[in-house]
């Protein structure tokens, strides 16, 4: 049973001004975003994380660094390009109010699975590589692993769609705010979404559940008895 904590990066100036940042370099957390990242880090501080994985972009790496700094033991941040933002191509750096006038905008809202951004990536490919990254990290941290992936709104929404058994075309029904936390548990029998767009709840129950799983494994492991 692996548990992944999906954290969206804190707010940036691009978020605040309604610009689609995409893979634009040098987009950093603003003052509010840094406070949000620190608040998320403190919520995660009681959890002994198996790994912290980040998108390669500055805003996610800054958020991941805050989470790592709040941990009780030293932990490095692993960068995985598959957790990176969708490649929006020619839409990158443009104002959302202007993009909303584009014919493709309606398709993005209603049928994201059919969207390939001009000179960019399809939303279906974004989902496939992000979900593949989660499954790879599940295998890497093991069945009792509890780890964080710091990523972007659309990427996290696509992972949640997959975890919920929903088609990507239901993508826009999910809200993932800056610095919000979503939690998914993966087992051999299925997937359970434990939290979505959570901004304030106590996360200590995740640590308790992990300790219980570890104790159960220690008691029953290798005994050959039922």
**How many C-beta neighbours within 10 Å does residue 208 have?**
10
Q: Out of 9, 38, 121, 152, which one is annotated catalytic?
A: 9
Q: Answer yes or no: are the C-beta atoms of 75 and 44 closer than 8 Å.
A: no
Give the torsion sign (CA, 158, 164, 169, 174).
negative
Q: How much helix, strand and coil, in percent to the nearest 5, is found in the chain?
A: 45, 20, 35
Given 38, 85, 121, 152, the catalytic residue:
85
Contact 60, 28 (CB under 8 A): no
8 A C-beta contact, residue 174 and residue 160: yes
Mark whether 9 is an active-site residue. yes
Looking at the annotation, which residues are catalytic?
9, 85
């Amino acid at each position: 049973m692996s548990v992944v904590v999906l954290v969206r990066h804190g707010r940036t100036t691009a978020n605040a001004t309604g610009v689609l940042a995409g893979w634009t370099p040098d987009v950093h957390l603003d003052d509010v975003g840094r406070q949000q990242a620190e608040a998320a880090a403190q919520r995660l501080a009681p959890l002994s994380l198996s790994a912290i994985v980040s998108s390669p972009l500055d805003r996610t790496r800054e958020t991941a660094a805050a989470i790592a700094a709040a941990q009780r033991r030293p932990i490095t941040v692993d960068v995985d390009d598959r957790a990176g933002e969708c490649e929006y191509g020619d839409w990158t750096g443009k104002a959302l109010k202007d993009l909303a006038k584009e014919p493709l905008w309606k398709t993005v809202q209603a049928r994201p699975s059919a969207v390939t951004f001009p000179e960019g990536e399809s939303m279906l490919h974004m989902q496939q590589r992000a979900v593949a990254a989660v499954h790879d990290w599940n295998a890497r941290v093991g069945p009792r692993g509890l780890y964080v992936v710091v990523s972007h709104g659309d990427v996290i929404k696509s992972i949640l769609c997959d975890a919920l058994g929903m088609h990507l075309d239901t993508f826009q029904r999910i809200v993932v705010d800056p610095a919000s936390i979503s939690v998914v548990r993966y087992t051999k029998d299925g997937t359970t979404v434990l939290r979505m767009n959570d901004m304030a709840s106590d996360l200590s129950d995740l640590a308790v559940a992990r300790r219980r799983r570890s104790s159960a494994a220690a008691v029953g492991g290798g005994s050959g008895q039922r």
